[in-house]
Amino acid sequence: MRLYPESALTQLEFDKIKELLGALCNTDFSKNKSNQLRIHTRKDFIDRELRQAYEYKLILQQQQYFPADFTANIAKDIKLLSIPGALLVGEQWMMIKKLTESMGTVFRWFDNERRMAFPALTQVLSDSYYEKLIVEMINEVLDDAGVVLDNASPELQKIRMNLYKKRNELRRVFEKMVQKMAKSGYTADIDESFSNGRRVIAVFSEYKRQVKGILHGESDSRKTAFIEPEETIELNNDVFALENEEIKEVQKILRALTAKLSVYAPLLQQYIQIIGEYDFIKAKAKLAINMNAHLPNVLDKAVVQLIDAYHPLLYLYNKDSGKKTIPVSIHLDDKHRILVISGPNAGGKTVTMKTIGLNQMMLQSGLLVPVHPDSQMGIFKQLYIHIGDTQSLQFELSTYSSHLMHMKHFMENANGKTLFFIDELGSGSDPNLGGAFAEVIMEELGRKHSFGVVTTHYLNLKVMANHTQGILNGAMQFDEVNLQPMYKLIIGKPGSSYTFAIAERIGLPKNLINRARKLVEEDHFKLDRLLNRTEQDLQHLEKEKKELNRLMKENERLKKEMEQVMNKERHIQQVELLKNQNKITEERLLYLKDMERKLRQIVLDWKKSENKNEVIKNLQNLLFKQKETIVVNKLAKKVDKKYKELNTLVEIGTLVKLKKNYQVGEVKEIRGKRAIVQIGALPINVELTDLIPVEKIPEPETNS
């Protein structure tokens, strides 16, 4: 992205964002990448960077463990590995081993399921692979402490075995000499010591000539002499020679290992970059969580559609201070490309402008931004900014001259992929003349199809924005009652500067304020007062709109609760109906089982009895005397207790009893020889011949 002027990054405080990001990085690779963070214009690159940060943010929010936690800087060691004849020592190999093992854990973490869930993070290691031979070859030579193993070579094993034997022999001889001299009273408080790697005995200086051996030196006080006994000189020489052989063999082994693994230097360098890349992505995800940033919809065209956008730094500052940050919503597209923001000083005009600019820079550098996820953000190739007093002493330019120099650059170089920000357009000159030039500048930038935000106090620019295609007004709200800025942007109308209201707020004498009012042109004053009144009316409408929305939400909540109650009641009725039906079915099953038992008994009686007529009579009683059987039925008894049969005709509204199942209901309709009977919540169509009119038996009164 082309930036103008060079201080644009500083003016929009993008450098502070880079500092915050760098503080969250752990590796030198990621810190360096944070310091050199660039603003890009290729959509595929921006999309990839944003998706990676978004996916890592999900991992952190889901409290998953991502294993890329190697942070040591071993780039120099790996570079040394690629140099012919180089030698890496044990500690260096241990770090390379840890790096390789860490990468192995990362590759294993990305199983098939995670590769599908996090495709952007998977892409980081798409051109690499895990080489387990690196760890295996190191383990063949070194132990976990980085010491060369005895069996790393036959020569080393032989040297260390001899060295072990010689050291044991030296220890036995030396201990005998120490005991002998101690008995003679020659040894000082410290029996033994080492001098140049050789074991020596500490004796009192007055006895040093009585001990045969080599004098290695004396203490600072000259009271103690350090002597290598004659009996251990040859053994010390042997140990010293073997130790030198061991060092040479170890170096030979390590040099051979370095040569063997030098072919993997490019791969290890790639591992360093991958680990650093994941650390950088992790830092971006942490920063996004801190500032409540999201992934908006990114379009490969010029558009600014921000919903609830926050200034990242202001949001972090207010979060730490426990204050509330007011978001801004703005929509700029081909129909409305330039927004003119007016309103009182210290009302949030410049902060709003910086919010849009800083979020755009962050997005195009691959950082998630603190906006609503439904926001749409385009890609711009140029970003121009002009904020604050730009008086130049070097070029002997006044504030207004410098202002025009910047505007000249804007107009000459702006195009449809340019996003510009101008604070107090036209200021620094005569209001009428400066306002005229400001109109010309806005017309020219509009003709170039550039996108931008302009802040102003000039009434002529507010009027121009109201009737010029592609330009729209915006205003920062102001509470005139409490004389406090509300830091909220309203699109579609110009705002008042609240000059006199602010003068009252800071306590200027009223007589001075009234004198100033008289000096202002009447039309100018009327227009400003009209803007005042319009804004207050809009604020009132906004409050009423919020209250209406609250009531509508409350109404919707009550409606849902009512539906739940009604559904619950319907469910209760359905359950009750099913209970009644199940009860009837159970009683019918009992009746059929009893009937089956009696019929079997009759069959047995038929086979055994000689009086067949008696058996036939019993069968007839069983099959045709239904009334006697029904009386036995529990349901029949229950119904007969509550209702008595009537010898009347069945009519609409008559309470009737069904002959078949003894259910009681009310006749709702008669259709020829059939009737519709309402039993509970269920209407039933039955024949008139199956109905018996009944009336409810009144319950006996109880004496209290």
What is the C-alpha radius of gyration for the chain, rounded to an integer number of angstroms? 48
At a CB cut-off of 8 Å and minimum separation 6, what does 207 contact?
184, 185, 186
| Beta carbons of 683 and 668 less than 8 angstroms apart | yes
φ, ψ for residue 369 (rounded to 5)? -120, 150
Residues of the chain with pLDDT under 50: 389-397, 523, 627-628, 631-632, 704
Q: What is the pLDDT of residue 537?
A: 60
Q: What is the pLDDT of residue 398?
A: 52
CA nearest to 670, candidates 656, 682, 681: 656
Q: What is the pLDDT of residue 703?
A: 55
Q: What is the pLDDT of residue 55?
A: 96
Quote the pTM value.
0.69
Domain spanning 304-519 has what CATH number? 3.40.50.300
What kind of fold does domain 9-148+260-293 have according to CATH?
MutS, DNA mismatch repair protein; Chain A, domain 3 (1.10.1420)
At a CB cut-off of 8 Å and minimum separation 6, what does 42 contact?
none
At a CB cut-off of 8 Å and minimum separation 6, what does 49 contact?
40, 284, 365, 366, 367
Residue 307's SS3 state is: strand
Q: Are strands 418-422 and 382-386 parallel, antiparallel or unpaired?
A: parallel
Q: What is the pLDDT of residue 392?
A: 41
Q: What is the pLDDT of residues 137-170, one digit of tens each?
A: 999 999 999 999 999 999 999 999 999 999 898 8
Name the CA dihedral angle for 525, 531, 537, 543, rounded to a multiple of 10 degrees: -130
CA nearest to 318, candidates 357, 345, 354, 290: 290
Tell me the DSSP string of 210-246. Answer: GS-EEEEEE-TTSSEEEEEEGGGHHHHHHHHHHHHHH
Of the CATH numbers 2.40.50.140, 1.10.3720.10, 1.10.1420.10, 1.10.565.10, which one belongs to the domain with range 152-250?
A: 1.10.1420.10
d(CA 449, CA 429): 27
d(CA 380, CA 361): 9
CA nearest to 458, candidates 487, 438, 480: 438
d(CA 278, CA 373): 24
- Kindly state the tokens that stand for 366: 């691959």
| Beta carbons of 453 and 476 less than 8 angstroms apart | no
Query: Hey, do 304-519 and 634-696 end up sharing a CATH topology, with the first three levels equal?
Result: no
- Burial of 502 from C-beta contacts in 10 A (0-12 / 13-18 / 19+): middle
> Angle CA(360)–CA(365)–CA(370) in degrees, nearest 5?
50
Query: What are the structural domain ranges in the chain?
Result: 9-148+260-293, 152-250, 304-519, 553-624, 634-696
Please give the class, per CATH, of domain 634-696: mainly beta
Q: What is the pLDDT of residue 394?
A: 40
